[in-house]
Structure 1
Amino acid sequence: MTVPSPKPSTNQESHVTTGATVWLTGLPSAGKTTIAYELAGRLREEGHLVEVLDGDEIREFISAGLGFTREDRHTNVQRIGFVAELLARNGVKVLVPVIAPYTDSRDAVRKRHQTGGTPYLEVHVATPVEVCSVRDVKGLYAKQASGELKGLTGVDDPYEEPESPDLRIESQNQTVQESAASVYALLSERGLA
């Protein structure tokens, strides 16, 4: 006797189920989060399951208690990478607008994805520090300049730029919509959108 396969629910049929992680790395106030949310909106409209793993929320809920030493930053990035890969392998487009200042940390996250066969794209939002310091969305550059804050990535703490990201965006030269469209184009090119 043959048992028929269960019919997928209507909800499942409306979603695109190829998962992937898109890690947007760059300096504070580079535009990573703004681009991620713009892209998330477009992907959701097309039926993709999407999560944005915002660095501030991760620090509050998953990495609470970690500081900003090199070791703590590495641990934070690995925790985010673990969650991103878990979601992505289960059909979610995971957008990660997180600085991730060190090459070895980013490489470890890429390796985790590759080992699991999960698509992973690194996008460098390559906004110059001069532009970021003017935008200063969270007031970090002003605090650093006044001596209130030490260890600001790209100013008095290192940021190791990706040597060969899947995409490099100069957000100061285009609109948020254009930046998000270029990431979307990359996903499409890789068969992920």
Structure 2
Amino acid sequence: MATNITWHENLTHAERKGLTKQSGLTIWLTGLSASGKSTVACALEQFLLQHGINAYRLDGDNVRFGLNNDLGFSEADRNENIRRIAEVSKLFADSTTIAITSFISPYIADREKARVLHEKAGLPFVEVYVDVPIEVAEQRDPKGLYKKAREGIIKEFTGISAPYEAPKKPEIHLKNYESTVEESAQQIIAYLVEKKYITL
């Protein structure tokens, strides 16, 4: 870590909230590939923006085209991927934007580090477990990744040759094989309203 750097104070989060009239937070969607994380995240982002609430979606695939294009899928690279996203989502939340992340983020320890990072900054962190059985995810398999993993073409694939550690106590548990996309998004919205993170 560089030593010749200095943190520059600016507006506090409270001051930003007063100016933007909005609270920032991070909504962290986690689940298997093909669980529907990105689809729910898109629906949620669109709903919030349509209601005048500033939100931005950080998607696992999209981020690897830019910020994280130097990372592979080893355990160390997955850890670094999530560490960077935690830092970026914290910056969005501090700016009073609602950051919506949709990442497999398979390890409990990495998600907990993201939570602690937000809590230390006084920013809400809402973990959403987008839950589908592995059989359902494989049936969906829109990218053909499970098939390639079963054939050994893709190594270190979550749920097949690499572990997925499900959240033990997520703020929201979406059974995304029993609900529509709209119902799942509305479940998150209802939670945000209940906690007074947003007003509709």
Provide TM-score, normalisation by structure 1: 0.90
2:36 equivalent in structure 1: 31
1:21 equivalent in structure 2: 26
Match of 2:66 among 34, 50, 61: 61
Match of 1:167 among 172, 175, 196: 172
SS of alignment partner, residue 65 of structure 1 = coil
1:45 equivalent in structure 2: 50
Deviation sequence 1:132-160 (CA, Å, 0-9, x none): 00110211011112221121101110001
Q: Which runs of 4+ in 1 moved over 2 A?
A: none
Q: Does the alignment pair 1:103 with 2:111?
A: no
Q: Does the alignment pair 1:121 with 2:104?
A: no
In structure 2, what residue type is equivalent to 1:58? Answer: V
2:161 equivalent in structure 1: 156
Residues 35 and 137 in structure 2, CA contact (< 8 A), matched pair in contact too: yes
Match of 1:92 among 84, 94, 97: 97
Match of 2:191 among 178, 181, 186: 186
Residues 35 and 180 in structure 1, CA contact (< 8 A), matched pair in contact too: yes
Residues 16 and 48 in structure 1, CA contact (< 8 A), matched pair in contact too: no
CA distance in 1, matches of 2:161, 2:185: 29
Q: How many Å apart are 1:166 and its aligned residue?
A: 0.4
Deviation sequence 1:44-79 (CA, Å, 0-9, x none): 111111100011111121111211111111110010
Residues 150 and 160 in structure 2, CA contact (< 8 A), matched pair in contact too: no
CA distance in 2, matches of 1:106, 1:147: 28
Residues 24 and 125 in structure 1, CA contact (< 8 A), matched pair in contact too: yes
Q: Give the aligned CA root-mean-square deviation in angstroms.
A: 1.5
Q: State how many pairs are aligned.
A: 181
1:142 equivalent in structure 2: 147
Match of 1:72 among 73, 77, 102: 77
SS of alignment partner, residue 60 of structure 1 = coil
In structure 2, what residue type is equivalent to 1:36? Answer: A
SS of alignment partner, residue 53 of structure 1 = strand
Give 5+ residue unaligned stretches, structure 2. 1-17
Q: Does the alignment pair 1:132 with 2:147?
A: no
CA distance in 2, matches of 1:175, 1:75: 32
CA distance in 2, matches of 1:46, 1:16: 14
CA distance in 2, matches of 1:126, 1:160: 12
Q: How many Å apart are 1:16 and its aligned residue?
A: 5.0
Identity of aligned residues (%): 38
Residues 81 and 109 in structure 1, CA contact (< 8 A), matched pair in contact too: yes
